[in-house]
Amino acid sequence: MIVVMKRGTTEESVQLMARRVEELGLKAHIIQGTERVVIAAIGDKRGSERDTLASYEEVEQVVPILAPYKVASREIKSEPTVIKVRDLVIGGGRIGVIAGPCSVESEEQIIDSAVKVKAAGATALRGGAFKPRTSPYSFQGMKEEGLKLLAAARDVTGLAVVTEVMTPHHVDLVAQYADVLQIGARNMQNYHLLEAVGKVRKPVLLKRGPSATMEEFLLAAEYILDQGNQEVILCERGIRTFETHTRFTLPLASVPYLKERTHLPIVVDPSHGTGIASLVAPMCTASVACGADGLIVEVHPDPKKAMSDASQTISPEGFAKAMDQCRIVATALGRQLG
Ligand code: PEP
Ligand code: MN
């Protein structure tokens, strides 16, 4: 249920109302809109709670939430959620650009990448320190050493750091270094991991599972929101289909579809979405055109030498050209890249 508070209700009354919601055995999420405050009252209902809550003086109305995902739903918050961390702004007309190598490989590689993607317009640095690899024999990432190198690259450039956390045991460690915690596609339905990052007060970039439906994707986001972390960024990174010409199939219709249903920002990953370097730039511009709030792109100073995902990785020069094109599209549509 959504408990819509009357305009001008004091903070104290909102807190009191949230306590009343909890006394009914429901979870209260306070959502501050520009116009008014609403309280999402979530949980198993017995039926009488709606009338009880509606009877309070400071409550304007109580309406049911129809979507299975509650806090993620547009029904609860019509204004878009905007994520801001350092110079990275995602949502509300600003297109955040996260770029960098698939994996952190060395100090020189990550700092060089950071300097070059920043010069081309990136507002955050990506780079995996803990890598989910299909084969146990592939490079698994530099782990904590990689996190330290990401922090060093942030010191040099000021870029926000986006990096993956693969297990609940590593959440505190990764959160010490990262500005944004990435949940990889393979972990989209790792509910213990989702709950663990939901307890952290840092934004989470949640990648769509390659076979997840939109509803499963939004319910995965709901796990994080339900723990009180309101800063969730959705990432469309492509799905498995019968098609084999690309590594995955990148369904860009999910961007406007999600925007109709959730207030959360949506970022597109054209690198994993296509798996082919030459397709990355055109799919970046297409993502901006269809309303994406951000991009996450794999860029390496020497793509052929990348230790993971080389075939989908673009050079800093290629990235700079892609960003020039994206800027033109963004400006034409009244939005701002970076
Ligand atoms: C990555 O970002 O390098 C990655 C492993 O992505 P995904 O989880 O989407 O496969
Ligand atoms: Mn990768």
- Going from the Cα of 331 to the center of ligand 1, the distance in angstroms, rounded, reads 29
Indicate if 227 and 100 belong to the same structural domain.
yes
Domain-terminating residue out of 10, 34, 63: 63
Arithmetic mean of pLDDT, 244-270: 98
Instruction: Tell which atom from ligand 1 comes closest to the C-alpha of 182.
Output: 2
Helix count (H) and strand count (E) of the chain? 11, 15
Residue 225 lies in a domain: yes
For the chain, give the percent of residues with pLDDT over 90: 96
Name residues whose C-beta falls within 8 Å of residue 292's C-beta, 6 or more positions apart in sequence: 95, 236, 255, 266, 267, 268
Q: Which residue's CA is the closest to the ligand 1 atom numbered 8?
A: 184
Residue 131 Cα: closest atom of ligand 1? 5
Confidence of residue 231 (pLDDT cuts 50, 70, 90): very high
pLDDT of residue 32: 87
Q: Whose CA is nearest to atom 10 of ligand 1?
A: 185
CA angle 50, 81, 220 (to 5 degrees): 70
Q: At what angle do helices 107-119 and 144-157 cross, to 10 degrees?
A: 40
Alpha-carbon gap, residue 84 to 35, rounded angstroms: 21
The contacts found for 276-280 with CB under 8 angstroms, 24 or more apart, are 276/246, 276/247, 276/311, 276/312, 277/303, 277/311, 277/312, 277/313, 277/314, 277/318, 279/246, 280/312, 280/314, 280/318, 280/322
* Confidence band for 34, pLDDT divided at 50, 70 and 90: confident
Residues 218 and 305 occupy one common structural domain? yes
User: Picking from 32-36, 40-44, 274-278, which range would have the lowest pLDDT averaged per residue?
Assistant: 32-36
Residue 318 has pLDDT above 90, yes or no: yes
Place of tokens 């209700």: 9
Asked if residue 207 lies in contact with residue 179, where contact means CB atoms within 8 angstroms, the answer is no
25 in the same domain as 129: no
Phi and psi for 306 in degrees, rounded to 5? -60, 135
Residue 284 confidence (pLDDT): 98
Could you report the per-residue pLDDT of 138-162, keeping only the tens digit for each?
A: 999 999 999 999 999 999 999 999 9
Minimum mean pLDDT among 43-52, 76-85, 318-327: which range? Answer: 43-52
Q: For 120-218, list the strands marked E by DSSP.
A: 124-126, 160-164, 180-183, 204-207
The tally of domains found in the chain comes to: 2
What's the whole-number average pLDDT of the chain? Answer: 96
Q: Are residues 58 and 88 both part of a single domain?
A: no
Query: pLDDT-derived band of residue 45, with 50, 70 and 90 as boundaries?
Result: confident
Which ligand sits nearest to residue 186's alpha carbon? 1
Task: Say if 253 falls within a structural domain.
Answer: yes
Is the model's pLDDT at 29 over the cut of 80?
yes
Residue 143 forms part of a structural domain: yes
Q: Tell which atom from ligand 1 comes closest to the C-alpha of 132.
A: 5
Which of 138, 237, 239, 274 is the best mutation target for the ligand 1 pocket, counting ligand atoms within 8 Å of the beta carbon and taking the most?
237
Q: How far is the CA of 226 from the centre of ligand 1 (A)?
A: 24
Mean pLDDT over 84-98 rounds to: 97
Q: Using the 8-state DSSP alphabet, how is residue 186 labeled?
A: G
Identify the pLDDT of residue 48: 86
Kindly state whether residues 226 and 156 are assigned to the same domain.
yes
CATH number reported for the structural domain that contains residue 149 in this entry: 3.20.20.70
Distance 251 CA to ligand 2 centre (A): 18
Q: Does any domain span residue 76?
A: no
Tokens 């549509």 sit on residue: 333
Query: How much is the pLDDT for 265?
Result: 98
Atom 9, ligand 1: which residue's CA is nearest?
Answer: 185
Ligand 1: list residues with CB < 6 Å.
102, 128, 132, 184-186, 207, 237, 272
Residues 56 and 195 in one domain: no
Same domain for 56 and 92, yes or no, is: no
**205 and 110 together in one domain:** yes
Q: Is residue 74 part of a domain?
A: no
Domain span at 34? 2-63
Are 327 and 281 within one domain?
Answer: yes
Residues 37 and 147 occupy one common structural domain: no
Q: Which of 63, 95, 114 is the last residue of a domain?
A: 63
Q: Based on the domain organization, do 21 and 157 belong to the same domain?
A: no
Residues 204 and 241 in one domain: yes
Nearest-angstrom CA–CA distance, 186 and 240: 12
- Name the band, by pLDDT with cuts 50, 70 and 90, for residue 109: very high
The reported pLDDT for the residue numbered 323 is 98
